Chain A
Amino acid sequence: MTTSTRIPKEIEEVLSTHRRGFLKSAGLLVVSFATGIDALVAEAAAQNTTAAEPLGPYPDPNFRQLDSWIVIHENNTATFYVGKTDPGQGTGTSFRQLMSDELDIAFDQTTCIMGSTDITVDQGGSGGSTAMERDSWPMRRAAAEARRVLLEMASGRLGAPVDQLAASNAVITVKADPSKRVTYGELIAGKKFNVTLTGANVNVVTGVAKVKPVQELKYTGQPLQRDDIPAKVDGSLKWAVDVKLPGMVHARNVKPPFACAKLTGIDESPVRNLPGFIKVVSKGNYVAVVCEREEQAIHAARQLKTTWEKSATAPFPASEDLFEYMRAAAPTSASHPIVMGNPDTAFSGAARVIEAEYEIPFQGHTAFAGAHATADPSNGQMTVYSNDMKAYSMRTGVAAFLGMPRERVRVVYMQGPQCFGRSAAEDAACEAAWIAREIGRPVRMQWMRHEETAWDTKGPAFLVKVRGGMDAEGHLVAYDYNARSCDYNHVGYNEPDTVLIAQLMGSRRAKPAAGSSAMPSEVYAIPHRRMVGEVVSLPLVWETPLRTGNLRDPNGPQSTFAAESFIDELAAAAKSDPLEFRINMLTAATADDTGFRRARSIAVLKAAAQAYGWDPRPSPKPLGKGNILTGRGVAYSFRGQTVVAQIAEIEVNRQTGHVWAKRLVCAHDCGLVVNPESLRHTVECATLHGLSRAIHEEVQFDTEKITSVDWVSHPTLRHADIPERIDVVVVNGDPNPNRPDLPPYGAGEAALKPMLAAIANAIYDATGVRIRRAPFRDARVLAALKAARL
């Protein structure tokens, strides 16, 4: 975007005029600048990291001030400030596309800064696939308002009414005489808009201007390359793990060897004379070692002698006994049943009743690198550098945990291994901050692999019982769904009293979080239904590595595995093609289709079928001969307003039980597509994440500790697992021609939902064996095949 060989001019301007002097504060590290100036930015950032200047107190950027969102520079470029974080789905690039369109500025003349609590408004960071669906709207409205204000300013400057002006590429001209022109930079650079926006909260904040109709958006809908990728492949990106501060030291945790264990002694003698040793810090059951160098801290944490007392009662059953335990446990809570029609009567009148029970174990976030954060306590403030997607709640959480005023804490978001929800990055931040305050020096904390895999928060295990009543024609007329999740004391985002270090130091909530279960995500027309979600608790729920927290599409993959496996069982019982069976249930009530949800579902299922080349027939197919059995399975979900249908074609090795998804199709409708390339990428990766959870991921434990502690004992998808072919079909829109302006809906999490069921259904199609327990690891599949005498 610039050919300058020095620090870009707009950065200098920001430096001199920006209300917060952010460049000096290393907040610059988070920028996702356009291709071409990455190196310059990285260089400037590197210089500024080492010269990090403790500032503070730190403001809350006012979302009702236009200047908080957009700064226009003398060289006619713009910087957008948004309260989001982009862990790699390309949302930052998409925000620029939308805002460039609304502002009428060339995309490559813009940059976007995200997620630093003192310079970007609080939009909550990331989560829930809300980037486009919810959070892009205030950005668009702010950009539209900036354009409106600039046109008014130009009207005065050019002596022409606004309606006789045109704005394009950050230049405003008089329509009748384009030689009369003024640039945005000439109008506003070095000055502030000083325009107040209105709205009760950041999600609804708006100016006077209206956003453009979709048809007038130029960059929106274009497959522009992501602006964060070049620095990720040439080694120039400075990640949260790369933060280096003057005087910084390294810390490593000494985790309890058993869940819910009590620390009874620390013997420092093995570490006291180690090179670089600084201190053992401990409070309650929390222990960490601090050293000058990273490898010294790792070594010292291994050498430190600690003694622990096991809990009197077993904190949890062993993983192989988990579902028996869950079956027998009294629920800690249950949702109010959702009842439609009269299910009891319908069941009693049904020609046939089918029941099944599904089991999904705990699955981990298992971020690619151990949780980490660097905390700087300089000058009585606390700056935390973190890759946590929730920078804003981290600020509040760290402040509350430390008992510091919130204005003295800031969080600088930087790139890191993708979090997938409430990850241990939040625990590491409080640990780094606490130790930094204890020793008065900047502290870099990182968890080791065994800590990350064992102690990160888990997606809850689910036990789901489903019952279906069919009439004589094979239609589903009654449906009874009961989900039971092991989710009591669910850990929220950046909670100062449930973050792991707080628990280890003795913090207890009087009333633990209730946790949640989940309903099926579909819009089938089933006349009589009853659905309930229950939660059960493990015996002990504090200071345990079996703590649950939001994991990408929380509870969705679990409930959809059960619900969509069961639909397949019904289709098989009815000897119907499983795809047609679904479409029939969606078609049955399209006359009563508020919001065209069923019409859109049918369109997406048909798009998947067409891309795959689906030939209608009941499952299972006649059993093949030879070692490799092939089959195909479909599953579907409706999440929020996003529709997904996935088809998996698999091979099952009869001798080994190994399942390979040879081909995957994902048809996806999330409304308005801002960047089709980023969307395809997001959908593809989420689909494969679903595959990983279908065939690999399971947290295992004995009655006192997690035994899944690394990539061997908690495996993840590998290159050899990757399908030969993946088709992502972007359906993009409502089949109803009267609704051209569908807004954007959430994209990523929705695509994770159906894959477990699609694989299970494909295994059934190939083998005639229904596996109701995920994941479909080789040994489990082989055992199921042998049990069926295959």
Chain B
Amino acid sequence: MSNITLKVNGSTHTLDIEPATPLLYILRNDLGLQGPRFGCGLGQCGACTVIINGAAVRSCILPASSVKGDITTLEGLSSNGRLHPLQQAWIDEQVPQCGFCQNGQIMTAKAMLDKNPHPTDAQIRESMNGTLCRCMTHYRIQAAIKRAAQGMSKARPASGKEVGA
């Protein structure tokens, strides 16, 4: 056991835990988060996805002691009570069925859009391909990503000059 400090959704936590513990169990069982979930424990499905340093990461196979950087979970996407555009797009497109995988879908999509705000259909398929869904909501997931990308780019100023003006 040793003390590990994690910064999650803006809050810092110091925990006395076995360093090899996968991050997922700490987020869920020590910090009470419900966004990341256990799906396979093998890094194959994406249900446990969190964002660390801008990258979508599978927390079920990530030793907590190896985490270097701020962690964002699904709960941390909204700000000031406003849903993230992706979450809103998920509601607008009525994406989930059971919803169990949607944490992974939304978090993976966020990491993708943060890097590539205007993905092509092919890029969406490629970026999302490792994030599984057994209810088969993929078609709507892809539609919601496109909707969010359009909405986010509309909300984004066209240039720095305009912001300053």
A residues within 8 Å of B by Cβ? 87-89, 225-226, 228-230, 232-239, 241-242, 244, 275, 293-295, 298, 366-370, 415-418, 420, 446, 448-449, 677-678, 681-682, 684-689, 691-692, 710-712, 716-724, 726
- Interchain CB contact under 8 A, B142 and A418: no
Complex: A711 Cα to B42 Cα, angstroms: 9
Chain B 113-144: CB-based contact to A (< 8 A → 1; otherwise 0) = 00000000100111011111111111111100
A-side interface mostly: loop
A residues near B133, Cβ cutoff 8 Å: 368, 717
Complex: A711 Cα to B47 Cα, angstroms: 13
Q: B58 interface residue, CB < 8 Å from A?
A: no
- Interchain CB contact under 8 A, A88 and B134: no
Given A229-B96, A368-B45, A681-B97: A711 and B135 interface contact (C-beta under 8 Å): no
- Interchain CB contact under 8 A, B78 and A242: no
Complex: A721 Cα to B22 Cα, angstroms: 31
Which residue from chain B places its CB closest to the CB of A420 in the assembled complex?
Answer: B134
- Interchain CB contact under 8 A, B98 and A230: no
- Interchain CB contact under 8 A, A681 and B136: no
Complex: A368 Cα to B37 Cα, angstroms: 10
Contact of B138 among A239, A298, A681, A688 (CB under 8 A): A688
Which residue from chain A places its CB closest to the CB of B32 in the assembled complex?
Answer: A244
Complex: A712 Cα to B130 Cα, angstroms: 11
- Interchain CB contact under 8 A, B18 and A368: no
Q: 7 A-B pairs, CB-CB below 8 angstroms?
A: A235-B73, A241-B38, A242-B34, A418-B134, A687-B136, A718-B130, A720-B126
Q: B106 interface residue, CB < 8 Å from A?
A: yes
- Interchain CB contact under 8 A, A225 and B100: no
Contacts beyond the supplied A87-B97, A293-B29, A719-B125: 12 A-B pairs with Cβ under 8 Å: A229-B90, A232-B96, A232-B99, A275-B18, A369-B100, A684-B136, A710-B42, A711-B45, A717-B133, A717-B138, A721-B138, A726-B139
Given A242-B34, A688-B138: A298 and B41 interface contact (C-beta under 8 Å): yes
Which residue from chain B places its CB closest to the CB of A692 in the assembled complex?
Answer: B136
Chain B 76-111 interface residues, beta-carbon cutoff 8 Å to A? 77-78, 83, 87, 90-91, 94-103, 106
- Interchain CB contact under 8 A, A415 and B98: yes
B residues near A677, Cβ cutoff 8 Å: 94
Given A417-B100, A681-B94: A689 and B38 interface contact (C-beta under 8 Å): no
Contact of A294 among B25, B44, B47, B73 (CB under 8 A): B25
Please give the number of chain B residues whose Cβ is less than 8 angstroms from any Cβ of chain A in the complex.
59
Given A89-B97, A295-B18, A719-B141: A239 and B91 interface contact (C-beta under 8 Å): no
- Interchain CB contact under 8 A, B98 and A88: yes
Complex: A325 Cα to B35 Cα, angstroms: 46
Complex: A217 Cα to B5 Cα, angstroms: 57
Contact of A88 among B1, B126, B135 (CB under 8 A): B135
A residues near B51, Cβ cutoff 8 Å: none
- Interchain CB contact under 8 A, B134 and A722: no
B residues within 8 Å of A by Cβ? 1, 18, 21-22, 25, 28-29, 32-35, 37-42, 44-45, 47, 73-75, 77-78, 83, 87, 90-91, 94-103, 106, 121, 124-126, 128-142
CB distance from B129 to the nearest CB of A (A): 5
Complex: A723 Cα to B139 Cα, angstroms: 8
CB distance from B97 to the nearest CB of A (A): 3
Given A241-B37, A295-B22, A719-B128: A233 and B140 interface contact (C-beta under 8 Å): no
A residues near B29, Cβ cutoff 8 Å: 244, 293-294
B residues near A678, Cβ cutoff 8 Å: 94
Which residue from chain B places its CB closest to the CB of A724 in the assembled complex?
Answer: B121
- Interchain CB contact under 8 A, B25 and A88: no
A residues near B96, Cβ cutoff 8 Å: 88, 228-229, 232-233
B residues near A417, Cβ cutoff 8 Å: 39, 98, 100-101, 134
Contact of A235 among B1, B39, B103 (CB under 8 A): B103
Q: Which of B34, B101, B131 has the most CB of A within 10 A?
A: B34
The 6 closest A-B pairs by CB, nearest first: A88-B97, A232-B99, A688-B136, A235-B35, A235-B74, A88-B98
A residues near B47, Cβ cutoff 8 Å: 368-369
B residues near A681, Cβ cutoff 8 Å: 94, 97, 137, 140
Which residue from chain B places its CB closest to the CB of A226 in the assembled complex?
Answer: B94
Complex: A718 Cα to B9 Cα, angstroms: 30
CB distance from A407 to the nearest CB of B (A): 31
Which residue from chain A places its CB closest to the CB of B64 in the assembled complex?
Answer: A295
Given A368-B47, A722-B142: A415 and B38 interface contact (C-beta under 8 Å): no
